[in-house]
Amino acid sequence: MTVGLLPGSPAEVPGIALDTEQAAREHGLELVLGERDGALCLWAPGGPEKPLCVNFSDGKQGYRLTPERVRHERLVKALGKPREGRIRVLDATAGLGRDAALMAQAGFQVLLAERSPVLHALLADGLRRAPVELTANMTLLPCGDSRDSDLSALHAVYLDPMFPAREKSAAVKKDLRWLQSLCPYPDADEELALFRWAQQLAPHRIVIKRPGKAPQLAGQTPGFSQKGKAVRFDVYTFG
């Protein structure tokens, strides 16, 4: 998807540079990126939706990151306790960084990988504005293929390859719908390649976020799952 780049957009993000939302509508662009209220945001030009930015402190996300709450998160339980001194986790599909923040708050050193230039730019801006006590455990890898980075001695690889698109798009939350436009859901071959790549990194665990009733990623049967009402975390253990 081509994104309109309004003032405040990073120079490295691909898209069409424009001065106004009206110009984006004239170009038929569904999304624009730009600065709003001191934050880098993504939004639908002329639409009623609130612009989307990465903010780790507001609303439900801020509540989930409190010390009293974070230890009860199913994702943190799925990660288990580090072994052999390994506390590094690779979030290979970082998205908006919400789950990465939970893992970091739980004490893991989280490497965030994101291949979408738009989402990578939003993440970088959110980390720039986040409290240092949180970002001290979060490292954003260069945009693109994370396989060129140092990914040794990992406790876990975390995968959230987006949920399959629903038939009734009105039922999909705004931020998820926009993310689906930027990062289409992988097909069966891509799912398997992603899982095999995670295995090759030799982590103690692979944790995969799935819709509650969805099949396992790439047909791979997990050792166990942490199940919630809407989502579950499938856990694959090694060694």
Mean pLDDT by 10 residues, the chain (239 residues): 96 97 96 97 94 87 83 95 94 95 96 96 97 94 76 95 56 74 87 94 97 93 95 94
- The answer to whether the beta carbons of residues 130 and 57 sit under 8 Å apart is yes
Pair of tokens at residue 206? 């692979």
Other C-beta atoms lying within 10 Å of the C-beta of residue 27: 13
- Taking the CA atoms of 126, 128, 131 and 134 in sequence, report the sign of the dihedral they define: positive
Just give the CATH number of 59-237.
3.40.50.150
User: Alpha-carbon distance 95 to 52, whole Å?
Assistant: 12
User: Alpha-carbon distance 177 to 159, whole Å?
Assistant: 19
Closest CA to 225 of 216, 235, 217: 235
Domain ranges for the chain, please list them: 4-43, 59-237
